[in-house]
Amino acid sequence: MTEKRASQVGGRLRGMLRDLWAAAALPLISIVLALIVGAVVILASELIVPGRPFDVTLPLAAYSALFTGSLGGLDPIVNTMRSAAPLVLGGLAVGLGFKAGLFNIGAQGQFLLGALGAVTVGIALNEASPFIAIPLSLLAGGLFGAAWGFVPGLLKAVSGAHEVVTTIMLNYVAGSTIAWAVSGPLDQPGSPSPITAQVGNAALPVLIGRNGHAGILLALVAAVVVGWLLYRTTRGFEIRTVGANPDAARYAGMQPRLIVVLTMSMAGLLAGLSGSIVVLGVTHHMTASFGTTVGFDSIAVALLGRSNPVGIIFAALLFGAMRAGAPLMQIQTLNLIPAELVDVVQATILLFLVAHAVIRRLLHLRGVAAGVEATDTITKSYSGEAVTH
């Protein structure tokens, strides 16, 4: 009896491991390959800057500095989590869209608008009790972001305007809105360059280390909620069905248009919260050049995390670690390796993920899931017949 049970448990364990390998193999292989490509880039860049001896071990020095800067001690680890938190929320915003067959390139704009909402309310309530100021600022950020996601969702549902184009356009409109708000109504009089006031009591409390703010916790909670929504609720089932096959969803009595509007609004809410925790937890004020990469990094996070909340957390931690460690890498290698190396590695990871078919053939991998999941219905023509007919 116990033997049988043990073998059952063993079998289940083996099955779980197999599933884990199937899901994680390609991302892991892509990461390793991208690090190798990064090393080649480092070696090649030594040839560009003359006047220094050629050092074969430079890639190792760079990667070890990257590691120390992101994981070597409490402060680096907290910094990694702090960089990862907005990426988790942004990654969820993009990933949720992918699940419904939507490509939310607009995370950047929703992020900016969310930050704007949070900073506006935060400044207004900077002397109120934190118990009032923080929730209301977060709520405002989330709602601003949701509104910025609702618009492309509605346009797609009503007229079939493709969300990729409308969200790209809205990203730039968001940029202009921020520039206007920070240099206009929110500008601090007497400052040399446009900058808003501090958020004061609306700042998120520090929970761990020197600057591990409560937004990290919020990101984790959001991942759990999105996971629960997607896999444990009827709405989540509908979202995934619309993403997999909108026609089947319609025949089953679901309303793809409603799901599109709902998903885009929720994605906007998540990206808006992402902007809010950066402004309330890290910068505490806003400048016209606020947070330019989170929105696009979020796309990378969602792709690497296969749109799965757990995968997104790991992907965000990886990219967050690279962002957190990059400055130390640049300093320790005496500016020979700019922090932008992280972007190069990030893009290379994605390149290998997308070319997964080629990698699978080259490495003879079997029983391994595709690199990029649930994105087959995205690139439909701009008239977007997938949903509206």
Partner 1 sequence: MDPVIQFFYGIPVLGLVFQFVGYIVDQLPTIAPIILGNATPIALAALCGVMCERSGVVNIGIEGIMIATAFVGWYVGVLVSPMFGARPDWIFGFSPALLIALAAAILTGMLISLLHAWLSITVKADQIISGTIINIAAFGLTGYLNTLISQTSPNGAGNFSRFRPPAEITQIPVVGWLFQMFLRQGPIAISLIVIVIAFQVLLFRSRWGLRTRAVGEHPRAAETVGIDVIWLRYRNVVFAGAFAALAGAYLSMEATNSFQQGMTTGRGFIGLAAMIVGRWTPVGAFGAALLFASSAALGYSIGGNPPPGQLGDLLSGVPGQVFDALPYLVTIVVLAGFIGRSVAPAADGQPYERESAH
Can you give the binding site for partner 1, defined by CB under 8 A? 41, 45, 48-50, 103, 105, 155, 158-159, 161-162, 164-166, 168-170, 172-173, 176-177, 179-180, 184, 296, 299-300, 303, 335-336, 338, 340-344, 346-348, 350-351, 354-355, 357-358, 372, 375-376, 378-383
SS3 366: coil
How far, in Å, are 71, 93, 174, 377 from residue 264 at the CA level?
35, 8, 16, 16
The nearer residue to partner 1, 153 or 215, going by C-beta atoms, is 153
Contacts of 8 (CB under 8 A, 6+ apart): none
Contacts of 249 (CB under 8 A, 6+ apart): 238, 241, 242, 256, 259
Tally of CA atoms within 13 A in the half-sphere of 185 that contains its CB? 9
Whole-angstrom distance, CA of residue 99 vs CA of residue 221? 19
In angstroms, give the least distance from the CB of 271 to partner 1: 16
Whole-angstrom distance, CA of residue 343 vs CA of residue 89? 19
The nearer residue to partner 1, 75 or 343, going by C-beta atoms, is 343
The nearer residue to partner 1, 308 or 346, going by C-beta atoms, is 346
* Encoded amino acid at 208, one letter: I
Tally of CA atoms within 13 A in the half-sphere of 120 that contains its CB? 18
In angstroms, give the least distance from the CB of 104 to partner 1: 11
In angstroms, give the least distance from the CB of 235 to partner 1: 25
In angstroms, give the least distance from the CB of 153 to partner 1: 12
The nearer residue to partner 1, 99 or 284, going by C-beta atoms, is 99
- Strand ranges, E, within the chain: 206-208, 212-213
The nearer residue to partner 1, 79 or 375, going by C-beta atoms, is 375
The nearer residue to partner 1, 137 or 166, going by C-beta atoms, is 166
The nearer residue to partner 1, 42 or 134, going by C-beta atoms, is 42
- Angle at 326 (CA atoms; ends 96, 145), nearest 5 degrees: 30
Please provide the DSSP assignment of 101-139 as one string.
T---TTHHHHHHHHHHHHHHHHHHTTTS-HHHHHHHHHH
Question: Would you call 292 exposed, middle or buried from its count of C-beta atoms within 10 A (0-12, 13-18, 19+)?
Answer: exposed
The nearer residue to partner 1, 116 or 214, going by C-beta atoms, is 116
In angstroms, give the least distance from the CB of 48 to partner 1: 6
In angstroms, give the least distance from the CB of 341 to partner 1: 6
In angstroms, give the least distance from the CB of 176 to partner 1: 4
In angstroms, give the least distance from the CB of 173 to partner 1: 5
Which residues lie across from 208 on neighbouring strands?
Answer: 212
Whole-angstrom distance, CA of residue 52 vs CA of residue 183? 44
DSSP 201: G
